[in-house]
Chains A and B, each alone.
Chain A
Amino acid sequence: MSDEIFSMLRDSAEDFLSAQVHNDSQTGRIGTPVLRDRKLWAAIAELGWLGVALPESHSGMGMSVDAAAVLCEVFGRKLFAEPYIAGALMPSAVLAESTEPVAFELAEGLVCGNRYLTLAWQEQAGEADSATYATRWDGATITGRKRFVSALEDDGIVLVAAESNEGTVIVALAVEAAGVRYQRLATAQGHYADIQLDGAVPMAPPLLVGAVADAAIMRAVAWARVAASAQLSGIARGCLLATTDYVSQRTQFNRTLSAFQSVSHRCADMLVGVELSDAVWRFAAAEVSVAKQPESLACVYAAKARSGDVALTTGRTAVQLHGAMGFTEECAIGLYLRAAMQYSSWLGAPAAMRRLFLARSGQRDLLMEACND
């Protein structure tokens, strides 16, 4: 993918988000699960962003995850709250692999912004890389429990991974269907839904069956990790910029705060973190977009670990450097920290990611071997 296309995407995202995103819309809703802002969702559909990672055969732009990640970096910087990764990128990785008629129909709805999709694969906390499911598909109905599902709309469609006699299947299920119950927990910019499925009947036969279904989930998760890394890196950079602005203007003891080394040196450390994070997600995005098995790449885990750590550290330091104002809801700096909490915990927290990084970077995992003996 050429740098020129990337800069066009980045510029258009910056222009659009600068005009459309207002941080005040995020105040006053701490602890409240948030759904899509349908006007904004339709607007980004209009811009073509929802179909970036879908092939042209599926109504998409035929680009790859590296293009989506470029957008996500800007989303992070601008605190754009729409669930792009969960609601567009991850479903794209699944739909792109399916040639069932319903897959083309859903892809078109996803790209147009009038079908609200999400992917439900996870069943336990911290099991980011398990490919087995307790949720069962019996050939006609689906039963089980899915957790930590983002971007679930009441009138949406959830792509559910389940076990069957032929291995893993992925089925498309209307959230309104009988046998579907759910509860949402609030995150910074959205929610985690806990979904109970009790003999629910999907819209159509499975989209994918067997090894190709497993591969699609693995790819969706790897894509999402890289995109989330980009978004976290953007969150950290936006937070750093807001903080350097603030400490350059605020005066105490007759000096700008930035004249104190205790302040400026912390800004320098934040900068180093942000640049490390930026270097690793960009590398991972380029690697993942050409890899057949992106889940085997160590750099994906390194990117998710680094960007999560850096966004959290930057967010906390920024709150501190804003002083008492930083602790108020009306000061936007806390939004960065809360967004960092969401995206660093989702899809694998830093410590877990580093263990997988080590395992994937060609070093024998002696701990795992010892545990298995």
Chain B
Amino acid sequence: MTDSNWSSRHDDRNQLSDEEFRQQLRLFLQANFPREWRQDFHRPFRRLRGPEQKQWLRILNDNGWRAPAWPRHFGGMGLSFRKQLIYHEELEHAGVARVIDLGDSQLGPTLILLGNEQQQQLYLPKILNCEHIWCQGYSEPNAGSDLASLRCSAVLQGDDFVVNGQKIWTTHANDATHIFTLVRTGKFEKKQQGISFLLIDLNTPGITIRPINNLAGEDEFCEVFFDDVPVPKTNLVGEIDQGWRVAKSLLGYERVWIGSPALVSKALELSRQLIELRELDVDCGARDRYAELCADLHDYKLLYTRICNQISDSGREPGPEVSMLKLYASELLQRVTEFNVQAAAEWGGVVGDTVIGDTLTDLHWQYMMARPVTIFAGANEVQRDILAKAVLRLPT
């Protein structure tokens, strides 16, 4: 990138001390994050999407708080890993609703690492200003945890790839303008070879998007069908047939962010509230279970911090040990949401909004929204395989 205006638009916050950085961000969030979008007992894992998501991301972008991990000369904040952790901690602390911002978290870093200059110049600014909203097209009906078995094909014909096949579990495809995909471009002995990383405009003729309702009743993810979809060959990122490496380089970071203790903290605040509302303080069983969950979160935060600090201090990519984070955080989240449903007694059977005492909750929603966390981004069974093979070095 050569646009010096763009890169020098904001101060280099990486130069601040950790504490100054934290204070600045805290003040910014207090002043700028809309109160009505905060996470609360009704929506402890609230996510923004569509126009609300765009509005919030633009506020971040206009104030130089967007894309914490991107280098500054690409328009990001250029934060060290340690400051990224503080960034996420402060968002959590302020109850800022989550966003699924794959342009920032996935595609941007990929283009910065492996994209060519034209691709960087074309796409990165439009990610930052939300002109483009990206979704991720990896999974297929027969390629979930076993992602390398994917079959959606791209065949080069002249200046275009012609894409045919289907993607599934594409989160928020119905809000997106573009999709980054893994497609099969060749057949080799190893199925990880012959996969390419391709960028596709969702307005291209031949694409059909069908939302799928999830167990919580939201149209969170979609099926995306490709029927002779022409994609310019300039949209190939990295080398042809080498897309697996492109995608895999980001999986470690994904597990670190999914492993964040933030959601568990929110769910456990709801537990505390339910204990008070239902006067369960005198119930030894409920108290002991609550104490166990609190201790689990306490200890997990220490492990999370330690592993994050090791990554930060070493300057290396996250190793296979981050599977522990995804594994434990997701299962703890489920245990806390299960406690909440049990603590609510009959209220736990209500599907939808309900008011307990003076508190608006939706226990079914938090319970169901905790389900997929053990499934996506590598099912927990796969994470256990990774720990056994790559950390404990057990022979198979």
Is there contact, CB below 8 Å, between B381 and A261?
A: yes
Task: Tell me which residues across on chain B come within 8 A of A247, comparing CB atoms.
Answer: 394
Taking a contact as CB atoms closer than 8 A, the residue among B290, B295, B302 that contacts A279 in the complex is B302
A258 CB, min distance to chain B CBs, angstroms: 4
Is there contact, CB below 8 Å, between A367 and B287?
A: yes
B330 CB, min distance to chain A CBs, angstroms: 12
Q: Which residue of B lies closest to A259 (CB)?
A: B396
**Cα separation A265 to B382 with both chains bound (whole Å):** 10
Is there contact, CB below 8 Å, between A265 and B324?
A: no
Taking a contact as CB atoms closer than 8 A, the residue among A259, A267, A276, A370 that contacts B300 in the complex is A276
Q: A256-B395, A258-B395, A357-B291 are in contact. Are A265 and B302 (CB under 8 A)?
A: no
Q: Confirm or deny: B385 has a beta carbon within 8 angstroms of a beta carbon on chain A.
A: yes
Segment of A31-39, A147-155, A206-214, A299-307 engaged in the interface with chain B:
A299-307
Taking a contact as CB atoms closer than 8 A, the residue among A268, A302, A367 that contacts B282 in the complex is A367
Task: Tell me which residues across on chain B come within 8 A of A244, comparing CB atoms.
Answer: 392-394
Task: Tell me which residues across on chain A come within 8 A of B327, comparing CB atoms.
Answer: 268, 272
Taking a contact as CB atoms closer than 8 A, the residue among A268, A276, A280 that contacts B387 in the complex is A268
Taking a contact as CB atoms closer than 8 A, the residue among A264, A279, A306, A354 that contacts B384 in the complex is A264
Q: A261-B381, A275-B303, A354-B295 are in contact. Are A370 and B288 (CB under 8 A)?
A: no
Taking a contact as CB atoms closer than 8 A, the residue among A261, A298, A363, A367 that contacts B385 in the complex is A261
**Cα separation A299 to B294 with both chains bound (whole Å):** 12
Q: Which residue of A lies closest to B287 (CB)?
A: A367
Q: Confirm or deny: A271 has a beta carbon within 8 angstroms of a beta carbon on chain B.
A: yes
**Cα separation A170 to B315 with both chains bound (whole Å):** 52
Is there contact, CB below 8 Å, between B298 and A271?
A: no
Q: Mark A321-352, 1 if CB is under 8 A from B, else 0.
A: 00000000000000000000000000000010
Is there contact, CB below 8 Å, between A267 and B392?
A: yes
Q: A258-B394, A272-B328, A276-B328 are in contact. Are A265 and B384 (CB under 8 A)?
A: yes
Interface of B is mostly: helix
**Cα separation A306 to B294 with both chains bound (whole Å):** 12
Is there contact, CB below 8 Å, between B391 and A271?
A: yes
Q: A244-B394, A276-B299, A302-B299 are in contact. Are A265 and B284 (CB under 8 A)?
A: no
**Cα separation A311 to B302 with both chains bound (whole Å):** 18
Q: A354-B288, A370-B281 are in contact. Are A267 and B388 (CB under 8 A)?
A: yes
Is there contact, CB below 8 Å, between A367 and B295?
A: no
Q: Which residue of A lies closest to B275 (CB)?
A: A366
**Cα separation A351 to B295 with both chains bound (whole Å):** 11
Q: Confirm or deny: B306 has a beta carbon within 8 angstroms of a beta carbon on chain A.
A: yes
Q: How many Cβ-Cβ contacts under 8 Å join chain A to chain B?
A: 108
Task: Tell me which residues across on chain A come within 8 A of B281, comparing CB atoms.
Answer: 366-367, 369-370
Q: Confirm or deny: A24 has a beta carbon within 8 angstroms of a beta carbon on chain B.
A: no
Q: Confirm or deny: B11 has a beta carbon within 8 angstroms of a beta carbon on chain A.
A: no
Q: Which residue of A lies closest to B301 (CB)?
A: A279
**Cα separation A191 to B394 with both chains bound (whole Å):** 37
B301 CB, min distance to chain A CBs, angstroms: 9
**Cα separation A305 to B293 with both chains bound (whole Å):** 12
Is there contact, CB below 8 Å, between A279 and B385?
A: no
Q: Confirm or deny: A361 has a beta carbon within 8 angstroms of a beta carbon on chain B.
A: yes
Q: Confirm or deny: A4 has a beta carbon within 8 angstroms of a beta carbon on chain B.
A: no
Task: Tell me which residues across on chain A come within 8 A of B284, comparing CB atoms.
Answer: 367
Q: Confirm or deny: B218 has a beta carbon within 8 angstroms of a beta carbon on chain A.
A: no
**Cα separation A358 to B281 with both chains bound (whole Å):** 12
Q: What class of interface size applies to chain B in its complex with A? A: 20 to 34
Task: Tell me which residues across on chain A come within 8 A of B291, comparing CB atoms.
Answer: 354-355, 357-358
Is there contact, CB below 8 Å, between A280 and B302?
A: yes
Q: Confirm or deny: B292 has a beta carbon within 8 angstroms of a beta carbon on chain A.
A: yes
Taking a contact as CB atoms closer than 8 A, the residue among A267, A271, A357 that contacts B295 in the complex is A357
**Cα separation A244 to B287 with both chains bound (whole Å):** 36
Q: Confirm or deny: A166 has a beta carbon within 8 angstroms of a beta carbon on chain B.
A: no
Is there contact, CB below 8 Å, between A370 and B302?
A: no
A190 CB, min distance to chain B CBs, angstroms: 28
Q: Which of A239-278 contact B (CB under 8 A)?
A: 244, 247-248, 256, 258-259, 261, 264-265, 267-269, 271-272, 275-277
Q: A351-B288, A366-B281 are in contact. Are A305 and B388 (CB under 8 A)?
A: no
Q: Confirm or deny: A16 has a beta carbon within 8 angstroms of a beta carbon on chain B.
A: no
Q: Confirm or deny: A182 has a beta carbon within 8 angstroms of a beta carbon on chain B.
A: no
**Cα separation A276 to B298 with both chains bound (whole Å):** 10
Q: Which residue of B lies closest to A305 (CB)?
A: B295
Is there contact, CB below 8 Å, between A306 and B396?
A: no
**Cα separation A149 to B14 with both chains bound (whole Å):** 55
Is there contact, CB below 8 Å, between A298 and B298?
A: yes
**Cα separation A66 to B381 with both chains bound (whole Å):** 37
Q: A265-B384, A302-B298 are in contact. Are A279 and B391 (CB under 8 A)?
A: no
Q: Which of B289-332 contact A (CB under 8 A)?
A: 290-292, 294-295, 298-300, 302-303, 306, 321, 324, 327-328
A156 CB, min distance to chain B CBs, angstroms: 36
Taking a contact as CB atoms closer than 8 A, the residue among A276, A351, A354, A363 that contacts B303 in the complex is A276
**Cα separation A179 to B383 with both chains bound (whole Å):** 61
Taking a contact as CB atoms closer than 8 A, the residue among A265, A276, A357 that contacts B294 in the complex is A357
Q: Which B positions have Cβ atoms within 8 angstroms of A? A: 272, 281-282, 284, 287-288, 290-292, 294-295, 298-300, 302-303, 306, 321, 324, 327-328, 381, 383-385, 387-389, 391-396
25 contacts between A and B (CB under 8 A): A244-B393, A248-B394, A256-B395, A256-B396, A258-B394, A258-B396, A264-B385, A264-B388, A268-B385, A271-B391, A275-B303, A276-B302, A279-B303, A279-B306, A280-B298, A280-B302, A283-B302, A351-B288, A354-B288, A354-B295, A358-B287, A361-B298, A366-B281, A367-B281, A367-B284
Q: Which A positions have Cβ atoms within 8 angstroms of B? A: 244, 247-248, 256, 258-259, 261, 264-265, 267-269, 271-272, 275-277, 279-280, 282-283, 298-299, 302, 305-306, 351, 354-355, 357-358, 361, 363, 366-367, 369-370
Identify 16 new A-B residue pairs, CB closer than 8 A, beyond the known A268-B388, A358-B290: A244-B393, A247-B394, A248-B394, A256-B394, A258-B388, A261-B381, A264-B388, A267-B388, A276-B328, A280-B299, A280-B303, A302-B298, A305-B295, A357-B298, A363-B294, A369-B281
